[in-house]
Chains A and B, each alone.
Chain A
Amino acid sequence: MKGKKFFAMLGAVAATGLLLAGCSGSGSAAGGGNKQSGNTIKIGGNFELSGSAAAYGQAMQRGTKLAIKQINKDGGVKVGNKKLKLELVQKDNKSDNSQVASVASNLTTQSKVVATVGPITSGADLAALPNQTKAKVPFITPGGTQDALTVQKNGKVQPYIFRSCFEDSYQGKALAKYVYNNMKLKKVAILADKSTDYGQGLTKAFKKEFKGQVVQTEYYQAGDKDFQALLTKMKGKNFDAIFVPGYYSEAGLIVKQARQMGITQPILGADGFADPKLVKIAGKENATNIYYTTHFDAKANNNAKAAAYMALYKKTYHEQAGTFDALAYDATYMIKQAIEDQKSADSTKIATGLANLKNFKGVTGTITMDKKHNPQKQVIISKVEEGKEVSATAVK
């Protein structure tokens, strides 16, 4: 299925590429990009409001809307000596990569937005990238963590994609440091999802950074349900913790089967663990002694900004704030910051502003953009005991 989706996406990208090639030469003025005009600044929303990624997309929509509402309430964005209001133009991409590409095209060429928030998954970001780049309109993804996303084939940075989340290797490295320095564990066994870039990227980064010993690396595939054979094999080895770079659907099963087999060592994971389904699948009594990295957490993000955000979110939506709405909220404020830094709301200027973002105080931490458009910020390590999150610590 993964493969099929990938080809469908390639097809979509190729098709839109052709379309755009066909109509190049028309439109954009010298320098390219969309210029800000009128009394508002148009921000695009390429949201997954329906389809398989709808849960993430809706969170992203809520975060973005909340940020825009708050910015406008506070008077708007200061451009030079004027204060302009933000206007959100949002479209549903239906979690479908060809739709993602056409929404990107529609927002940038028809609605003339100067920056876009979303889409949220790495695959969708790849589909949106050609059209955004062609139109020279920057976009920020709150959830696309794939390392290669912001880099071109020749190693240069993609000029118009940014993220407000950290990338896979960043959290892999942070986890490796935390395990060695804070948890003082020296021997780790890895059980990795070999079928996704996510799992592979994390494994690579963790191995590179971990100062202790990786005693064993085994692989599974997304969709596997039986891990007894692998766990039986690992059980005989001497290790202090198991690292599972993968998503909650398989990780939940691994936790369940490992605990039932009598493996009691800590189980480590990345943001793929950050879903309540992990505990549901593993069972409460099994979901214990688990550590995972995440972007945002009510227990660890306790500065004034985060507290205010959580209160505001709760007041507006009558729910606890989550990871992806917080990241989308930050993404919107990053655009505001970029506009104010550059004193211009033209799309190419916003891209420059985002690339030069330094010490931006966001809800999910203090963000400085690196050369590859990856935010350098804190990583949060959550600990789960008996199915409940018991603590969360921020590490740099």
Chain B
Amino acid sequence: MQTVLQQLVNGLSLGSIYALLALGYTMVYGIIKLINFAHGDIYMLGAFWGYYVIHQWHFSFWPALLSAMVFCALAGVIIEYLAYRPLRNSPRIAALITAIGVSFLLENGMSYLFSSNVRSFPQVMDVKSYNLFGIKVSNIQVLILVVSIVLMILLQLIIRRTKMGKAMRAVSVDPDAAQLIGINIDRTISFTFALGSALAGAAGVMIGLYYNSIDPLMGMTPGIKAFVAAVLGGIGLIPGAALGGFVIGILETATQALGFSAFKDAVVYVVLIIILLVRPAGILGKNIKEKV
């Protein structure tokens, strides 16, 4: 029983990272129907920024986290402006391929500039383990979970309660109509990228601290897993992304706990295929009939 609960804790802390990343995927998809494959690499940029400011400027954890969010938000906006905006009216496949290109550019550009070596992340926070009824939880695991949930709630508030959030929802439903009633589409989309990328940046710094190892290709696998999480929960839906992230995290942990460690990734993708066959819109997705 203790082991099961311990595994659940492991699954939740892994899942919260996937969830944070999945939110960025889902927001961008929800608004401009683009799967931003470079999202995982923005997470990597966040981790490197954290590494840099802690190392060079001796930031403590919170300033590093916040500055990484700002930095990644800027990076996201710039990428959108340079790579995706010129292609907004092109076929969707062109934008998708560009996204893959941006992803490669970031990965290999960072490898070129900073070498592909694995670096150890400066430990700005001492690891403390708490024993709760025989279950070991570290302060960083709690931190990741809490920060993730707080950020998700904040995001939900921004989207539901602010004017910008309303604009985002409007653009998501019908960009042309939104423009007609005076919403600045460019600004709304930039804002969406900024929000999503800021979340990825936060995830990057927290993961750097948690695992103590960062490298330019660190965004690849988590990026794809987070994409699966977004699809699983229902792409375009924010609660869906959070749910999908936690489901994938727990699923991976469970697979390993049951002794199928060699099939850990395979199980995740099999679940994706099953979901796409049975509920193409995802767990929380609704089937929307298209008018002809």
Could you give, for residues 240-283 of chain A, a 1 whenever the CB lies within 8 Å of some chain B CB and a 0 otherwise?
A: 00000000110011001000111000000000000001001111
CB of B256 within 8 A of chain A?
A: yes
A304 at the interface (CB under 8 A from B): no
Q: Is the interface of B mostly helix, strand, loop or mixed?
A: helix
B172 at the interface (CB under 8 A from A): no
Chain B residues in 8 Å Cβ range of A221: 264-265
Query: Among residues 212 to 241 in chain A, which have CB atoms less than 8 Å away from a CB atom of chain B?
Result: 218-221, 223, 225-226, 228-230, 232-233, 236
Tell me, yes or no, whether A303 is within 8 Å of chain B by CB.
no
Question: When the two chains form the complex, which single residue of A229, A260, A277, A281 contacts B253, counting CB atoms closer than 8 Å?
Answer: A229
Given A194-B262, A229-B257, A277-B118: A1 and B217 interface contact (C-beta under 8 Å): yes
Q: Does B211 count as interface, using CB distance less than 8 angstroms? A: yes
Residue among B11, B212, B217, B264 with most chain A CB within 10 A: B212
Minimum CB–CB distance from B157 to chain A (whole Å) comes to 30
Is residue B120 within 8 Å, beta carbon to beta carbon, of the partner chain? yes
**A232-B6, A261-B136, A281-B118 given as contacts; is B257 within 8 A of A226 (CB)?**
no
In the complex the two chains form, what is the Cα distance from A302 to B67 in whole Å? Answer: 51
Return the CB mask of B115-151 against A: 1 if under 8 Å, else 0: 1111010010001010000001010000000000000
Contact of A229 among B10, B116, B207 (CB under 8 A): B10
Give A1 to B116 CA distance when docked, in angstroms: 12
Contact B265 A229 (CB under 8 A): no
Distance of B245 from chain A, by nearest CB (Å): 14
Q: Which residues of A contact B162 (CB under 8 A)?
A: none
Q: Does B248 contact A (CB under 8 A)?
A: no
By a CB distance below 8 angstroms, the chain B residues around A226 are 10, 14, 211
Q: Is the CB of B120 within 8 A of A232?
A: no
Residues of chain B in range 211-263 having any CB-CB distance to chain A below 8 Å: 211-213, 215, 217-218, 220-221, 252-253, 256-257, 259, 261-262
**Within 8 Å of chain B (Cβ to Cβ): is A111?**
no
Is A256 touching B256 in the complex (CB atoms < 8 A)? no
B3 interfacial contact with A, CB 8 Å: yes
Contact call B221/A223, Cβ cutoff below 8 A: yes
Count of residues in B whose CB is under 8 Å from the partner chain: 35
Complex CA distance for A281 and B3, rounded to whole angstroms: 26
With A253-B213, A260-B127 already in contact, the answer to whether A230 and B261 are too (CB < 8 A) is: yes
* Minimum C-beta distance from B2 to chain A (A): 9
Contact status A229-B211, CB under 8 Å:
no
A219-B261, A260-B127 given; A230·B256 CB < 8 A: yes
Q: How far is the CB of B50 from chain A (nearest CB, A)?
A: 15
Task: List chain B residues, Cβ under 8 A from A229.
Answer: 7, 10-11, 14, 252-253, 256-257
Q: How far is the CA of A92 from the CA of B13 in the complex (A)?
A: 45
Known: A219-B262, A233-B256, A252-B213. A260 touches B120 (CB 8 A): no
Chain A residues near B207: list those with CB within 8 A. Answer: 225
A28 at the interface (CB under 8 A from B): no
Cα A232 to Cα B213 in complex, Å, equals 21
Check B213 against A281 for contact (C-beta < 8 Å).
yes
B45-78 vs A, CB cutoff 8 Å, 1 = contact: the mask equals: 0000000000000000000000000000000000
Check B136–A262 contact: CB distance below 8 A: yes
Across-interface contacts of B116 in A (CB, < 8 A): 52
**How far is A391 from B136 in the complex, measured between Cα atoms in Å?**
33
Neighbouring B residues of A281 by C-beta, 8 Å = 118, 120, 212-213
A103 to B13, CA, bound (A): 48
Chain B's nearest CB lies how many Å from the CB of A77?
38
In this complex, the member of A226, A248, A262, A277 whose beta carbon has the largest number of chain B beta carbons within 10 angstroms is A226
Pick from B10, B117, B264 the residue with the most CB of A within 10 Å: B10
Identify the closest chain A residue to B215 (Cβ). A249
**Which residues of A have CB within 8 Å of B3?**
232-233, 236
Q: By the criterion CB–CB under 8 Å, are B257 and A283 in contact?
A: no
Enumerate the 6 nearest inter-chain pairs by beta-carbon distance, A residue then B residue, closest first: A229-B256, A280-B120, A228-B10, A229-B253, A219-B262, A249-B118
A and B contact pairs by CB, cutoff 8 A, 13 listed: A221-B265, A225-B207, A225-B213, A229-B7, A229-B11, A229-B252, A229-B257, A230-B256, A230-B261, A232-B10, A233-B257, A252-B120, A252-B213
Residues of B at the A interface (CB closer than 8 Å) are: 3, 6-7, 10-11, 13-14, 115-118, 120, 123, 127, 129, 136, 138, 207, 211-213, 215, 217-218, 220-221, 252-253, 256-257, 259, 261-262, 264-265
Q: Which residues of A contact B (CB under 8 A)?
A: 1, 52, 194, 218-221, 223, 225-226, 228-230, 232-233, 236, 248-249, 252-253, 256, 260-262, 277, 280-283
